[in-house]
C-alpha cells in the first residue's frame, strides 16, 4: 500500500512499536511478571527467611506447609523447603541463563559465519550442526553427565553443548537472507572487512530472532537441568536444585506430596513463563506482521 | 470518440438487472482515518469523484497520496488499521460503505473487480491459471463446470494469451510478468463486471510489456463498454489511456477534469509540478566536454562475461545463463554512460561485476589501465574507494539499525580516516546533497525515499570516487523526486568530474543524464551511441521497439491523448 508512511521524526518507532505489541500480549506480560518476581525472590528472598537452606533439624522432619513458620514445610532431613526452593531457584536460573548465553554465543557465531560465508565453509559448519542434532540430546546429556564430574559449571556446559544447534540454524537462515540485502552489498562496496560486515552490519539486524531463541533456550535449559538433576547426574546434594529436590521427593510421594508438588510447580511456572515471553517477543519483533 | 454500445458483446447475462443512471461509481465525501502516530490523520479526506459509464478515469498521485487507499475502500479491502469514517461509495447505485460482508462479497467480482500491481503475488502459485479463472466464477455460482471451462478458455483467448489451451494448464511461475498480468485481467473480466479497478497494473512491468497491457485494457474497455478506474503515478500512462483525470495529493483531490484539459492546461500548482517533472526524452546530447585524448580514459571494459549456473541436480540438467555476454565499452573522466535494458537484460549484473560485488567469468576491466577483474578481494579493497555505487532501493540500501552518520563514516574510517575528519566530511556532504546536517544522528526510517537516496549518494561520495555506478538509482522514487535526484547527480558530476555509469530501464531518464547510451538485451550490447542517435535513428530492432514503447512519448501535446487512444 502506498499511502501508509511512517511518521518522520517520531523517534525510534520500531522500539516503541515492539514494546507496545509486547505490552498488548497478555500472556507474555504475565510471563514477564512471573519471571521477574521469581528471579527477585530467588536471589533476594533467602535473606528474609528465618531458616538456613542447609540447616538440618531432624526434630522437625516432614513438617507440612504453613506450620511453625515453615511456609512450604520441611524435607526428610528437617530442612526448610521454602529456603531450599529459593536457593535451588537461584542455582537453576543461573545454570539456565549461563547455558543460554553459551549456546547463543556459539550458535550465533556458527550461524553468522556459515550464513555469511556460504560455500564450503557454510556447508562444513552446517553439517556439523546437523551432526550434533543427530545425537539424541537426552542420551548425549546423560552420557556426558555420567562421564564428567557434575559441578554446576559442567552441567551448564553440557546443557549449552546440546542447545546451540537450533540457534545456529535460525541465525544462519536469517543471515543468508540479510546477506543479499543492499545495505550489506553497500558495506562490501565501501571496502569493509568481512568481520565488520558480519558483526556490525548484519548481526544487529538479526537480533530479533536471536532474542526470541534466547528466551526459549532458557526455558529449555531449566527443563534439561531439572531432568539430569532429577536423575542424579546433575547438581549434587546438598546443593539444592529444582531437579534434585524433585528427585529426592520420589519415595515420599504418598506421605509428603508437597515435597514434589512445590518444586514441580516452580519448574512449571518458570518454563511456561519463559515460553510465554518467547511467544510475545516473537510477535512483537516480527516486522513482517503488519498489525498495528 | 465512438464507442460500442454497452452490452453488445456480453457473454454472460448479468444475474441482476442493471441499475440505470450515468454513473458507474460515485464516491462522495469519503474520509478514511489512519491509525494514530502516522504523519497525518486521514489517508484520504473528504474526497468525491465520479466514474462515468464506459469511461476510463485515471487517479494519479505520488506515493502517499491516498490513491490506493481509495481503491481498496471501494473494494472493501482496506487493511484492518484503516477505517472509513464518513462518506458514501455507490457502486452501480448501491451504497457499499455499510452493507453486510456477504452482500459485498457478492458484488466483488460481479459488479466490480480489481487488478493488482504485482501479478505474481496476486496469483495463487499452487493453482493452474485456468483453475484460478474458473474459481472466480465458481465462487459466484455461475455456470456449470463445463461452461466455466469454456468461458475460462474464451477469456484467456480474449486477453491475448498465446495458445490458451496450453496456458490453461500452466502454473503462474511459468508465465512472464506480462502474461501473468493478462491472467489477472482475465480473472477480473470473468464475471463481466461493470467496473474494473486497476491499481498500478503496469508499474511492475517492462516498458514494452506495459505498452501492450495498456492497449489491452483500453481495447477491452471499449469493446465491452466497461468503466475503468485506473490508478497510476505516471502521466505518460494517463496521456495514453485516460478520459478523465483526478489528481490527488496527500489525501486530497487537487484537480480534476478531462485528460486533455488536465494535461494541456493544468490549473493546480501541484499538477503543473507533476507534469513538469515527467522525465521527457531529450533528443539533443548533453553538453559535457567531449573526451578527447587517450589519457582521459578512465575505464575500459573488454569482452566481459558473467555466467550464472544453476546447481546440477540429480534429475536436472544444469542451466547456464549468460547474464553478461562479451560486453566491451570505454568510459572517460567526467562522462556518463547509460546502460538501458529491460529486466533480465543483464544490466544489473554488469554493474555488480564492474564494482566486483560479483566475480566475472572472462574478459578484463581496465581501471586507469590496471585490470581490476583479476584482483582478489583483498587486493582490490584499497581500490574500492575509487569506484562507488548508488543502489536502487533507498529502503534496503541503508542499514536500518545504524544512524545515517554511521552509514556515511564507516567506510572512510575503515580505510584509515580519523573519526573527526570523517564526521566533518559527512556533515558537509549531507548539506551538499540537500539534507540537514542534523540528519547525521538520525535513523533511516525517519526519512522519505528521496531523502534516503540522497544519503545513499552522499555515502558514495564520501571517498571522492572517480567512478560512480548508479544502479536504477531513481527507479523507486516518485517523478518529482526523480527529477531532483537527477539534477543533483548532474550537478555533482559537473563539480567533481566523476565518471558515471547509469543503469536504468527508463529511456526517458537515461536521455536526461547520459552522454552515451548502451542498449542491452540478453546480456549483449545491441546498440551503443549518443542519445541523439539512439532516439532519433535507432539502428537495432530492439532499440526501435523500446523507443516506440515509451509511454506518453509526447505527453502534454493535444494529439498524444488522441492518437494514443486510437492506436
Question: Between chains, do A1 and B81 touch, taking CB under 8 Å as contact?
Answer: no
Chain A residues near any Cβ of chain B (below 8 Å): 1-10, 12-14, 181-183, 185-193, 196, 200-201, 204-205, 290-292
Which residues make beta-bridge pairs with B328?
none
Return the residue in B80, B401, B461 with the most chain A beta carbons within 10 A, the one to mutate for interface testing. Answer: B401
Q: Is the pLDDT score of A128 beyond 90?
A: yes
Among A18, A193, A31, A210, which residue's Cα sits nearest to residue A107? A210
What ipTM goes with this model? Answer: 0.73
Contact (Cβ atoms closer than 8 angstroms) between residue B18 and residue B24: no
Q: With b meaning 16 or more CB within 10 Å and e meaning fewer, what string describes B235-274?
A: bbbbbbbbbbbbbbbbbbbbbbbebbebbeebeeebbeeb
Among B224, B228, B227, which residue's Cα sits nearest to residue B7? B224
Domain ranges of chain A: 88-273
User: Can you tell me which residue has the cell 485516460?
Assistant: B242
Average pLDDT per block of 10 residues along chain B, 567 residues long: 40 44 84 76 86 89 83 83 84 81 82 82 86 88 87 88 86 82 87 87 80 87 89 85 89 88 88 81 69 68 84 67 87 90 84 88 88 87 89 85 89 89 91 86 83 89 90 82 87 89 88 89 89 85 85 46 40
Which DSSP helix (H) or strand (E) runs through A245? helix A242-249
Q: Which of A3, A7, A191 sits opposite B415 (nearest CB)?
A: A191
Return the residue in A3, A175, A191, A209 with the most chain B beta carbons within 10 A, the one to mutate for interface testing. Answer: A3
**Strand order of the sheet with strand B524-529?**
B387-390, B467-471, B499-504, B336-340, B516-521, B524-529
DSSP assignment of A122-191? HHHHHHHHHHHHHS-HHHHHHHHHHHS---HHHHHHHHHHHHHHHHHHHHHHHHHHHHTSHHHHHHHHTT
A207, closest residue in chain B (CA to CA):
B401
Contact (Cβ atoms closer than 8 angstroms) between residue B425 and residue B412: yes
Question: Between chains, do B399 and A204 touch, taking CB under 8 Å as contact?
Answer: yes
DSSP state at residue A80? B
Contact of B355 with chain A, judged by CB distance below 8 Å, is answered with yes
User: Can you tell me which residue has the cell 512449571?
Assistant: A268
Q: Is the pLDDT score of A99 beyond 90?
A: yes
Minimum distance, in Å, between the CA of residue B490 and any CA atom of chain A: 22
B381, closest residue in chain A (CA to CA):
A191
Contact of B401 with chain A, judged by CB distance below 8 Å, is answered with yes
Question: Between chains, do B357 and A183 touch, taking CB under 8 Å as contact?
Answer: no
Decide: helix, strand or coil at residue B324: strand
Which residues in chain A have their CB less than 8 angstroms from residue B34's CB? 4
The strand pair at B112-115 and B370-371 is best described as: unpaired
Minimum distance, in Å, between the CA of residue B19 and any CA atom of chain A: 32
Q: Report, as an integer, the average pLDDT of A213-238.
A: 87
- Residue A274: all three cell numbers together: 519463559
How many CB pairs below 8 Å do chains A and B form together?
117
A7, closest residue in chain B (CA to CA):
B39
CA distances from A179 to A112, B79, B344 (A): 10, 31, 22
User: Within the 71-110 window of chain B, which residues sit less than 8 Å (CB to CB) from chain A?
Assistant: 72, 79-82
pLDDT, one tens digit per residue, over A138-151 is 788 888 878 887 78
Contact (Cβ atoms closer than 8 angstroms) between residue B289 and residue B334: yes
* Full set of structural domains in chain B with CATH: 21-111+194-202+225-281 (3.40.50.300), 333-358+375-549 (3.40.50.300)
Contact of B464 with chain A, judged by CB distance below 8 Å, is answered with no
DSSP state at residue A199? I
Pairwise CA distance, residues B463 & A199, whole Å: 23
Q: Which of A7, A181, A190 sits opposite B39 (nearest CB)?
A: A7
B413, closest residue in chain A (CA to CA):
A192
How large is the greatest C-alpha to C-alpha distance in chain A, in angstroms? 76
* Radius of gyration over every alpha carbon of chain B, rounded to an integer in angstroms: 26
**pLDDT at res. B561:** 39
Phi, psi for A239 (deg, rounded to 5): -60, 120
Minimum distance, in Å, between the CA of residue A26 and any CA atom of chain B: 20
Phi-psi region of B37 (alpha: psi -120 to 50; beta: other; left: phi over 0): left
Decide: helix, strand or coil at residue B59: strand
Query: Which of residues A15 and A256 earns the better pLDDT score?
Result: A256
Minimum distance, in Å, between the CA of residue B66 and any CA atom of chain A: 5
Minimum distance, in Å, between the CA of residue B117 and any CA atom of chain A: 10
* CATH architecture for segment(s) A88-273: Orthogonal Bundle (1.10)
Contact (Cβ atoms closer than 8 angstroms) between residue B337 and residue B514: yes
Question: Between chains, do A190 and B64 touch, taking CB under 8 Å as contact?
Answer: no
Question: Between chains, do B384 and A191 touch, taking CB under 8 Å as contact?
Answer: yes
Contact of B389 with chain A, judged by CB distance below 8 Å, is answered with yes
Phi, psi for B196 (deg, rounded to 5): -115, 125
**pLDDT at res. B68:** 83
Amino acid at each position: 500500500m502506498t499511502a501508509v508512511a511512517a511518521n518522520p521524526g517520531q523517534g525510534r518507532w520500531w522500539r516503541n512499536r515492539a514494546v507496545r505489541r509486547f505490552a498488548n500480549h497478555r500472556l507474555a506480560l504475565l510471563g514477564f511478571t512471573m519471571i521477574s518476581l521469581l528471579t527477585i525472590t530467588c536471589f533476594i528472598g533467602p535473606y528474609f527467611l528465618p531458616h538456613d537452606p542447609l540447616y538440618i533439624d531432624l526434630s522437625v522432619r516432614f513438617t507440612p506447609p504453613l506450620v511453625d513458620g515453615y511456609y512450604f514445610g520441611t524435607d526428610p532431613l528437617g530442612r526448610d523447603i521454602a529456603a531450599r526452593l529459593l536457593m535451588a531457584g537461584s542455582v537453576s536460573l543461573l545454570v539456565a541463563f549461563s547455558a543460554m548465553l553459551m549456546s547463543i554465543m556459539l550458535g550465533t557465531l556458527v550461524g553468522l559465519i556459515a550464513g555469511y560465508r556460504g560455500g564450503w565453509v557454510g556447508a562444513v559448519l552446517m553439517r556439523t550442526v546437523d551432526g550434533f542434532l543427530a545425537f539424541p540430546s537426552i542420551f548425549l546429556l546423560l552420557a556426558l553427565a555420567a562421564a564428567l564430574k557434575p559441578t554446576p559449571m559442567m552441567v551448564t556446559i553440557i546443557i549449552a553443548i546440546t542447545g546451540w544447534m537450533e540457534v545456529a540454524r535460525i541465525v544462519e537462515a536469517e543471515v543468508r537472507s540479510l546477506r543479499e540485502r543492499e545495505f550489506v552489498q553497500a558495506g562490501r562496496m565501501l571496502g569493509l572487512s568481512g568481520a565488520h560486515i558480519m558483526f556490525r552490519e548484519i548481526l544487529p539486524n538479526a537480533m530479533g530472532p536471536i532474542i526470541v531463541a534466547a528466551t526459549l533456550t532458557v526455558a529449555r535449559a531449566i527443563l534439561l537441568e531439572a531432568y539430569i538433576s532429577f536423575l542424579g547426574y546433575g547438581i549434587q546434594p546438598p546443593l539444592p536444585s529444582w531437579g534434585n529436590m524433585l528427585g529426592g521427593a520420589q519415595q515420599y510421594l504418598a506421605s509428603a506430596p508437597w515435597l514434589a508438588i512445590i518444586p514441580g510447580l516452580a519448574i512449571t511456572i518458570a518454563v511456561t513463563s519463559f515460553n510465554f515471553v518467547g511467544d510475545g517477543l516473537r510477535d512483537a519483533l516480527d516486522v513482517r506482521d503488519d498489525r498495528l | 470518440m465512438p464507442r460500442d454500445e454497452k452490452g453488445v458483446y456480453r457473454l454472460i447475462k448479468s444475474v441482476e438487472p442493471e441499475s440505470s443512471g450515468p454513473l458507474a461509481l460515485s464516491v462522495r465525501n469519503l474520509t478514511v482515518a489512519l491509525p494514530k502516530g502516522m504523519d497525518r490523520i486521514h489517508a484520504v479526506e473528504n474526497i468525491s469523484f465520479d466514474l462515468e459509464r464506459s469511461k476510463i478515469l485515471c487517479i494519479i498521485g505520488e506515493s502517499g497520496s491516498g490513491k490506493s487507499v481509495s481503491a481498496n475502500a471501494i473494494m472493501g479491502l482496506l487493511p484492518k488499521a484503516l477505517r472509513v469514517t464518513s462518506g458514501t461509495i455507490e457502486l452501480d447505485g448501491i451504497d457499499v460503505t455499510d452493507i453486510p460482508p456477504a452482500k459485498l462479497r457478492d458484488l466483488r467480482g460481479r459488479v466490480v473487480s480489481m487488478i493488482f500491481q504485482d501479478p505474481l503475488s496476486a496469483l495463487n502459485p499452487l493453482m493452474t491459471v485456468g483453475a484460478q479463472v474458473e474459481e472466480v466464477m465458481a465462487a459466484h455460482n455461475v455456470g456449470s463446470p463445463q461452461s466455466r471451462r469454456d468461458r475460462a478458455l474464451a477469456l484467456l483467448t480474449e486477453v491475448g494469451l498465446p495458445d490458451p489451451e496450453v496456458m490453461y494448464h500452466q502454473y503462474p511461475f511459468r508465465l512472464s510478468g506480462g502474461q501473468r498480468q493478462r491472467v489477472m485481467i482475465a480473472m477480473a473480466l470473468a464475471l463481466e463486471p461493470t467496473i474494473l479497478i486497476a491499481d498500478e497494473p503496469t508499474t511492475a512491468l517492462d516498458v514494452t510489456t506495459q505498452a501492450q497491457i495498456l492497449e489491452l485494457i483500453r481495447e477491452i474497455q471499449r469493446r465491452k463498454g466497461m468503466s475503468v478506474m485506473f490508478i497510476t503515478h505516471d502521466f505518460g500512462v494517463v496521456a495514453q489511456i485516460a478520459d478523465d483525470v483526478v489528481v490527488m495529493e496527500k489525501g486530497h483531490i487537487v484537480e480534476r477534469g478531462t485528460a486533455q484539459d488536465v494535461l494541456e492546461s493544468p490549473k493546480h500548482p501541484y499538477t503543473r509540478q507533476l507534469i513538469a517533472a515527467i522525465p521527457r526524452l531529450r533528443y539533443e546530447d548533453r553538453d559535457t566536454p567531449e573526451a578527447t585524448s587517450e589519457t582521459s580514459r578512465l575505464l575500459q571494459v573488454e569482452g566481459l562475461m558473467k555466467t550464472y549456473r544453476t546447481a546440477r541436480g540429480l534429475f536436472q540438467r544444469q542451466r547456464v545463463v549468460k547474464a553478461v555476454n562479451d560486453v566491451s565499452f570505454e568510459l572517460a573522466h567526467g562522462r556518463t554512460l547509460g546502460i538501458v535494458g529491460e529486466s533480465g537484460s543483464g544490466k544489473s549484473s554488469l554493474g555488480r561485476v564492474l564494482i566486483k560485488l560479483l566475480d566475472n567469468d572472462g574478459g578484463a576491466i581496465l581501471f586507469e589501465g590496471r585490470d581490476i577483474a583479476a584482483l582478489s578481494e583483498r587486493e582490490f579493497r584499497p581500490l574500492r574507494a575509487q569506484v562507488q555505487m548508488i543502489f536502487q532501493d533507498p529502503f534496503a540500501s541503508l542499514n536500518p539499525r545504524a544512524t545515517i552518520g554511521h552509514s556515511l563514516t564507516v567506510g572512510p574510517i575503515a580505510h584509515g580516516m580519523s573519526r573527526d575528519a570523517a564526521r566533518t566530511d559527512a556533515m558537509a556532504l549531507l548539506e551538499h546533497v540537500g539534507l540537514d546536517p542534523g540528519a547525521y544522528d538520525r535513523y533511516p526510517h525517519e526519512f522519505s525515499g528521496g531523502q534516503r537516496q540522497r544519503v545513499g549518494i552522499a555515502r558514495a561520495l564520501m571517498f571522492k570516487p572517480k567512478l560512480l555506478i548508479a544502479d536504477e538509482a531513481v527507479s523507486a522514487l516518485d517523478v518529482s523526486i526523480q527529477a531532483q535526484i537527477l539534477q543533483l547527480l548532474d550537478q555533482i558530476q559537473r563539480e567533481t568530474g566523476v565518471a558515471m555509469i547509469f543503469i536504468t530501464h527508463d529511456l526517458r531518464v537515461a536521455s536526461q543524464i547520459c552522454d552515451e547510451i548502451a542498449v542491452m538485451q540478453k546480456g549483449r550490447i545491441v546498440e551503443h551511441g549518443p542519445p541523439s542517435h539512439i532516439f532519433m535513428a535507432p539502428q537495432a530492432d530492439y532499440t526501435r521497439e523500446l523507443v516506440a514503447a515509451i509511454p506518453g512519448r509526447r505527453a502534454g501535446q493535444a494529439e498524444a491523448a488522441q492518437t494514443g487512444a486510437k492506436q
